[in-house]
Amino acid sequence: MKRIQNHSFDEKKSSLLGYWTSDYYAVPESIVMEFQSCGIFNLYNDYLIKKQYATGRWSFVDKELLLYDTLYTVAFIDSCTIELENGDSRKYLYRLGHEPGGYIFDKKPHQLSLGIYNGEFTTIEPQLFSVCVREGSSYMISWEDSWQSDSDACFNGAIEISAYKADKKHAYFTSIDSRKKRPQFVVARGNSIYFIIHPLFLLNAYTGTYALTITEKESAQV
């Protein structure tokens, strides 16, 4: 990423103030960092800044940011991007609302039907899907990938999946993968269920093929 020279964005403490995320592609579960002018640092585990889970102190002097007893060298890329470096570790922060890959729910979802969907990841960009459902009905959501398969099909990807209600704010479940309990069962609240799927990332991103199955079960009482 090329640094912009002679821009109006100054390299002072005031330039760090506000909300930032380290996610190139923002999703509802993105971690958000808030730098306050009084030296307070807050962490939120949701993009809508509703769920604060940690707080601490921060300071910035001569391009060095002290955060939770960790010292970072700061390079300002532009008014919406900063680079933090600590030894061999380097990461970027993006001002909230200006993530290069955008916010997932600002994009048009791919419409699915009930049944099996065979998908594939060639990049780490998350995929957004929606399916029309009947409010009050129960649905089983299951998936197959390289970590676990219930069929003779061969998959070479591995995924994490989150499911959201029609309001796109409240989740049925988040960041479930094949290492955890599956399938998942949900009772529809509204006429749509949204799915955010992205490659499982451990040491590397598990891009490749997978399958998602959505099945309506017996109706449940609302």
Q: What's the CATH code of the domain at 166?
A: 2.60.120.380
With a threshold of 0.95, does the pTM exceed it? Answer: no
In CATH, what number is assigned to the domain containing residue 31?
Answer: 2.40.128.280
**Pair (148, 211) in one structural domain:** yes
Q: Is 155 strand, coil or helix? A: coil
**Pair (79, 174) in one structural domain:** no
State the pLDDT at residue 12.
73
Q: In whole angstroms, give the CA distance from residue 195 to residue 104.
A: 11
**Pair (113, 210) in one structural domain:** yes
Higher per-residue confidence, 221 vs 188: 188
pLDDT in tens, 83-97: 999 988 899 999 999
Which range of residues forms the domain containing residue 66? 13-95
The reply to whether 58 falls in a domain is: yes
* Amino acid sitting at position 106: D
**Pair (166, 86) in one structural domain:** no
**Pair (115, 208) in one structural domain:** yes
**Pair (117, 206) in one structural domain:** yes
The reply to whether 100 falls in a domain is: no
Q: Tell me: pLDDT of 222 over 70.
A: no
Q: Is 204 strand, coil or helix? A: coil
The reply to whether 8 falls in a domain is: no
The per-residue pLDDT of the chain, averaged, comes to 89
pLDDT in tens, 162-201: 999 999 999 999 999 877 767 899 999 999 999 999 998 8
Q: How many domains does the chain have?
A: 2
